[in-house]
Structure 1
Amino acid sequence: MLNNKKQRIDADKRIPSPKAKELFHDIRRRHEIGKNDLLALSGLTVSTLTRVLDELVGVGVISESGLGVSTGGRRPILYQVQADYGYAFGLDISRVMSRLVLLDLAGTKLDSREWRMDEKTTPEIFMQMVTEQVTEWIDKHRIAFEQIIGMGIGAVGPLNRITGVIEEPEWFAAPGWNHVPAVQMIEERLAFPVILDNGANTALIAESWANRTKDFRHMLYVHGGTGLRLSMMTDNKLIHGAVDMEGSFGQMIIQADGLPYRTAQGNFGALDTYASVHAIEREVNSRLRIGRSSALRQIVRPGEAAKFSDIMQALKQMDPLVTEVVTQAATYFGIGLANLLNILNPEKVVLGGPLMTENNLFFYTATQTAIRKTYHYPKYQVIFSKGTYGEEAIAIGAAQLMLSQLTV
């Protein structure tokens, strides 16, 4: 019964014809657009364009929003997405903080919620919390079941997008996060469509949406946190490898005879070992143990290890030890980033995660290092950004991924 219901929702929510899908995509990427502009963008004849627009208005996904400015003749009709036609949830499943957002069809965020992932947050408990929050929002925003397009999930990898399973992620505080059928668990509880991708990919979807009027052809997203996560996009399309490649950037070898990885599966001398939250914590605590002076001795209780939040507090005080360690980690990160730039030549790179958002030192040190080591500089210049959506990028992109199913 559930599968039949899910298939019915999918069929009802999708836009019928290829031309209508392309036109809807053009309209959705703009707040408002005139018929004349659509005529130039689409290459359709006036009669075909009129017919397809009428089809989209009839379905209910767009509406006429008024008249534009005249350029000498009749004022053009303006069109916009009908925001309340449908809604999508976006779920970010991460190791430290997870988030849920609700978007309407126009991409406007209507609500958000976050949870700290502690030792008690097993998959079963977490999925139940998500289910309860979704149910509460459906009532709060008076959303009819037929208006729900579905939920996108952006999760820590490795994962299998096709089967909807989070496979063997590392460093969750709670047990049970291996081989989690995330899509199945949500669909069984809520009875609407769910899709899964890695969180770096969904974050890049969100940032691409934020830059949709600027026509960047090649973009990268790198998330710096507990681990390092990477995604790539060309011509607004995600690049998927033969296997989930979210963690591949962190396994880039930058020192062949370097330190061992923190688990047996990783490479010696991997970038993650030198330029992650874990790397900074390890190095700071190592220096404290050999007697280095630091403001951390007043922040952290005697006998306890300094955590990343403590280290960031000391960094705000311009503590020399912490500044030295963070600068060193950011320099390593910048070397890894330069390797990506020299191979992939993206136009824009968005850097997200706590390493980038907690303090400007890491971001600026890493980007300046990368620029200095880019092969074709200054002829080739890349744009670096911390992004538009901050820590909500993964969840917002997951919801956008679900909304895009209307044109699949």
Structure 2
Amino acid sequence: MSHSLRSVPSHKQLIYDYIANLGPIAKAELLEAHDITSSTMTRLLDDMAKEGLILVTGLGPSKGGRKPLLYQINPDYGYIFGLEISRFTSTLGLFDMNMNQKSVVRWRMDETMTPERLVAHTVGMMLAFKKDHALSQSRILGLGIGAVGPLDRSSGVIINPQYFPAKGWEQVPICAMFEEAAGLPTLLENGANTALVGEHWSMRQDNVEHALYVSAGISLRSAMMSHGQIVYGKVDMEGSIGQMIIDVDGPRLEESGNYGSLETFASVQALERQVRTRLKVGGGLLLNNVAPEKVNLDTITEGLNAGDPFIREIFRQSASYFGVGLANLINTFHPELIILGGALISANPMYYQVATEVAVKKTYYGEAYIPQFSMGRLKEDAVVTGAALMVRSRMKL
């Protein structure tokens, strides 16, 4: 069995995706949702059943006549790899067609994890997963990658992400590298988009159409969904919200960044800089036994959990600024749901609580609009799940 991926979905693909998301489902419900004739629908369902894509799973309730057949996708039709390439850790997951996670592994992204080493390490894990589950190469439909941007999706290139511990992460043809090393069709998308796709899929019964995903960590990353589809701009700049100006008279985090930008106040680097400065001047922190250059999010979180008043205050201030940034995005887009993720959100419950409280206070539209917030259901597995879903939705059926 050979596999390829397409960019424009066919009728068959749309119906398959609909069954995948809402099945078990009857033909009548499929006809209500798709503008095709009953005979064409019957033919497509018969074709997909013969190919093993879908299964007849039983009979639905009768509405006066014979009980209708119910269709669902065949979870064992094939398997998909999802890969997250991030700055702290990277993750590889193996999924069946129902997005059941069969295996997952995470590893640290240290100074040795160059693109070449990441590909070799990942392919080794893929081989181990296939052996564990007795899967031949022909059973694997493809690899979806959710990566830190900016990137060029069409050419499968990671352009020049910041803050990677290892060198060599500029103009990386990551899809070509994996296609050669793993022999699989490979798709690239930014990690914020795949996280939103994954979380949206996990909440598919809630019928959310307009959603916002924002990740607060080493950088600030965002994705937007309207009518169930990811919103794209001319170029991929998932981290551009970090350059949103919060204080026109404020400092800047990096030489090329905006003065008073959101990332200057609400990012891991901003917190690390503040704590290092305090330590250098002898601020009496609980972290006084830590050298300034050794300060990272882990040590900051330890100080926060130990009750350090200075760290608690800068953490709260950071969350408050992040909430202002969220309010600006919400006031622009007015999504039904805002999903928050990233290292700062998961570091301590206070960050999420303060950020959402500030965002609600500064969101304006009227009593009819009340944004809903969530930390997501998939959390650290959102990116790899969304990356695998991306492959499933672009199969050439």
TM-score range (shorter-chain normalised) is over 0.9
Counterparts of 1:3-402 in structure 2, within 5 Å, are 9-10=3-4, 18-42=10-34, 44-262=36-254, 264-297=255-288, 300-301=289-290, 305-402=294-391
Deviations 1:299-328 (A, max 9, x none): x43565432111112222332111101100
Gaps of 5+ in 2: none
Instruction: Give secondary structure in 2 for the equivalent of 1:266.
Output: coil
Matched residues, number: 397
Query: 1:376 Cα shift?
Result: 1.3
Contact 1:230 1:245 in 2 (8 A): no
Calculate the aligned-residue CA RMSD, in Å: 2.1
Paired amino acid for 2:259 = F
Of all paired residues, the percent bearing the same amino acid is 41
Q: Distance in 2 between matches of 1:195 and 1:15?
A: 10
Gaps of 5+ in 1: none
Contact 1:87 1:149 in 2 (8 A): yes
Query: 1:160 Cα shift?
Result: 0.6
Q: Distance in 1 between matches of 2:7 and 2:118?
A: 33
Q: Distance in 2 between matches of 1:253 and 1:118?
A: 31
Instruction: Give secondary structure in 2 for the equivalent of 1:213.
Output: helix
Query: 1:290 Cα shift?
Result: 3.1
Contact 2:253 2:270 in 1 (8 A): no
Deviations 1:249-278 (A, max 9, x none): 10111112211232x221111101110011
Contact 1:22 1:407 in 2 (8 A): no
Paired amino acid for 2:167 = P
Contact 1:252 1:271 in 2 (8 A): yes
What TM-score do the two structures reach when normalised by structure 2? 0.94
Paired amino acid for 1:10 = S
Instruction: Sort the Cα spacing of 1:368 and 1:176 in 2 relative to 1 into closer, same or farther, 3 A.
Output: same
Instruction: Sort the Cα spacing of 1:273 and 1:216 in 2 relative to 1 into closer, same or farther, 3 A.
Output: same
Deviations 1:177-217 (A, max 9, x none): 11111001100011110011111111111011112222222
Contact 1:222 1:350 in 2 (8 A): yes
Instruction: Give secondary structure in 2 for the equivalent of 1:83.
Output: coil
Contact 1:251 1:271 in 2 (8 A): yes
Query: 1:147 Cα shift?
Result: 2.1
Contact 1:15 1:21 in 2 (8 A): no
Of 30-39 and 362-371, deviating more is 30-39
Q: Distance in 1 between matches of 2:8 and 2:216?
A: 40
Paired amino acid for 1:201 = N
Contact 1:168 1:178 in 2 (8 A): yes
What TM-score do the two structures reach when normalised by structure 1? 0.92
Q: Distance in 1 between matches of 2:110 and 2:354?
A: 32
Deviations 1:311-346 (A, max 9, x none): 112222332111101100011111111110111111
Deviations 1:3-61 (A, max 9, x none): xx9xx5217xx799943222212101024223343343335554433222112112211
Contact 2:280 2:292 in 1 (8 A): no
Of 329-338 and 135-144, deviating more is 135-144
Instruction: Give secondary structure in 2 for the equivalent of 1:119.
Output: coil
Paired amino acid for 1:266 = G
Instruction: Sort the Cα spacing of 1:50 and 1:308 in 2 relative to 1 into closer, same or farther, 3 A.
Output: same
Instruction: Give secondary structure in 1 for the equivalent of 2:124.
Output: helix
Contact 1:152 1:401 in 2 (8 A): yes
Q: Distance in 1 between matches of 2:266 and 2:4?
A: 43
Deviations 1:350-399 (A, max 9, x none): 11111111211111111110110112143321111111111121111111
Q: Distance in 2 between matches of 1:221 and 1:161?
A: 19
Contact 1:221 1:350 in 2 (8 A): yes
Contact 1:229 1:247 in 2 (8 A): yes
Instruction: Give secondary structure in 2 for the equivalent of 1:51.
Output: helix
Deviations 1:65-113 (A, max 9, x none): 1122334432221111101111111111111101111111111111111
Query: 1:235 Cα shift?
Result: 1.4
Instruction: Give secondary structure in 2 for the equivalent of 1:293.
Output: coil
Instruction: Sort the Cα spacing of 1:20 and 1:315 in 2 relative to 1 into closer, same or farther, 3 A.
Output: same
Instruction: Sort the Cα spacing of 1:41 and 1:399 in 2 relative to 1 into closer, same or farther, 3 A.
Output: same
